[in-house]
Structure 1
Amino acid sequence: MTPVDQHLPLREQRHRALVDAARALATEHGADGFTVDRVAMLAGVSRRTVFNHFAGMDQLLVAVCEQILAEVTTDLLEGVDRGTTDLPAGGAGGPAALDAVCEATRDVDLPTAIVTIQHVLGGPDVADERADAISRTALEHVAGRLRERLLERAPGLDPLDLELTLTLLTSGLATIARHWLEEHASPAPDVRHENPRFAPERSMTSGPVRVTPDARAAWDRLLDRLLHRLRAGHAG
């Protein structure tokens, strides 16, 4: 986690502090293992401030997941930019742009983000409905950024084709992530807190989440199946 930048506006500083505090507590205790009061205390704000920024704890956990996905999202957007540099003219440009966003998922570290989110949301039960809803909401926010970028890069893209592709892609990623976690359950991550203020007691500090080569290879196979299904449809 990064220390709060004192040059940021106060509201943004508090927002980041709340997300950092929630992430630290959830990493240590799971999604059900902390309260609004503990988040407020660790972030150095009042209980009321928590609710000024977030409607409830689930919304705060969505923000934590978005923080975890931030690097992946940046890499995805860069992949979309590279893949749409020389789009074909005319009607072929739209499908090429959609294919670019699908291919961009191959070049980002989704496995590490998925494992981190699983541990933050808590527990070995990857079928937990609440955790599933929180992670899906975070993925939908990522899809929203991809939608904006694709419309910038390919203004002639059919809006319905774009919506269908992103919906199927994000839903498919969530589905294969759940399957992958069931097959490749990992131990709790070792999390190094860059800012000691957000390191809970008994926090593990020996290093970041690591995904084994075998687990990554399994993820790549699942992603191949998903992208093939998106291109070929049910008959493929």
Structure 2
Amino acid sequence: MTEPSTDRRVALKARHRQAIVDAAAALIAETGGLRFTIDDLARRADVSRRTVFNHFASVDDIVAEVFGDVIGTLVASYERESAASPAAPGTDVDGRAVVFGELDRAVRSTDLVAPMAFLTQSLRSHDEHSPAIATVLLRVLDAARGRLAAAVLARHPRADVLDVHLLVNAVVSGVLVLHRHWDAATGAVDDEPSRAVWAALVDRLLDRTGHGFAADHPATT
């Protein structure tokens, strides 16, 4: 008799959490940043202020989840691109070259400029001198790193686990480094010149990373 009640509580908790995240995304878009209070957020989500803090310890936690959903499209891009481009016959389908090629295509095909511009401008409007931009982006990308590594290993169960984690870490951490250079060069705007800068930076990241992972050779011990 207790299981249905527990299930309802779990479902209600999940609905409340998603309502808060959806409300935060809407308010960020409407106000052009973090120009809203926890009370505004609670009203928009139709929950109490206490419920907001039961789910999230801070506004940064909420923002990280909002943008985690957006940047999480990298995982979907990986799954789509890897399924659409099977390895050639005779290729080691779980080899580093194949895995790197799939990640290369996923990063190039994912629109990271729009969510990064939105995130950067939103947080900067809240406090231009706050380190929150890098902190939140790091948290978002860290979550994406775990999800992406899991997706790669699910597709390539015979791949070397350490190689997969090293590769995913190199690519995702590289995106964080690129963000700093891209922001400094473009002001984190979303326009064609900014996208050209981002594309050139991505080319450099994948070129440098590819030298270590795009060729299959015995690992040294």
**Number of aligned residues:** 201
| Separation of aligned partners in 2, 1:173 and 1:87 | 32
Q: Which residue of 1 aligns with 2:33?
A: 30
Residue in structure 1 matching 2:97, options 90, 95, 98: 95
More helix by share: 2
Aligned-CA RMSD value: 2.6
Contact 2:38 2:49 in 1 (8 A): yes
- Residue in 2 that maps onto 1:190: none
1:68 to 51, 70, 83: 70
Unaligned runs of 5+ in 1: 1-8, 188-210
User: Which residue in 2 is equivalent to 1:146?
Assistant: 148
* 1:162-218 alpha-carbon deviations (Å, 9 max, x no partner): 11111111111111122112211256xxxxxxxxxxxxxxxxxxxxxxx32222222
2:203 aligned residue (217, 221, 224): 224
Q: CA deviation at 1:226?
A: 0.5
- Shift of the alpha carbon at 1:104? 1.4
Structure 2, unpaired ranges of 5+: 1-10, 213-221
Query: How does the TM-score come out when normalised to structure 1?
Result: 0.74
Structure 2 CA distance for partners of 1:128 and 1:160, relative to 1, 3 Å: farther
In the alignment, what sits opposite 2:135? 133
Which residue does 1:118 correspond to in 2? 120
Counterpart AA for 1:149: A
Tell me: CA distance 1:170–1:88, structure 2 relative to 1, closer, same or farther (3 Å): farther
Q: Check the 8 A contact 2:93/2:156 in 1, yes or no.
A: no
2:140 maps to 1:173: no
Contact 1:62–1:135, Cα closer than 8 Å, also in 2: yes
The residue number in structure 1 matching 2:4 is: none
TM-score, L = length of structure 2? 0.78
Task: Give 2:52's aligned residue.
Answer: 50
* Cα distance change, pair 107–100 in 1 and its aligned pair in 2 (3 A): same
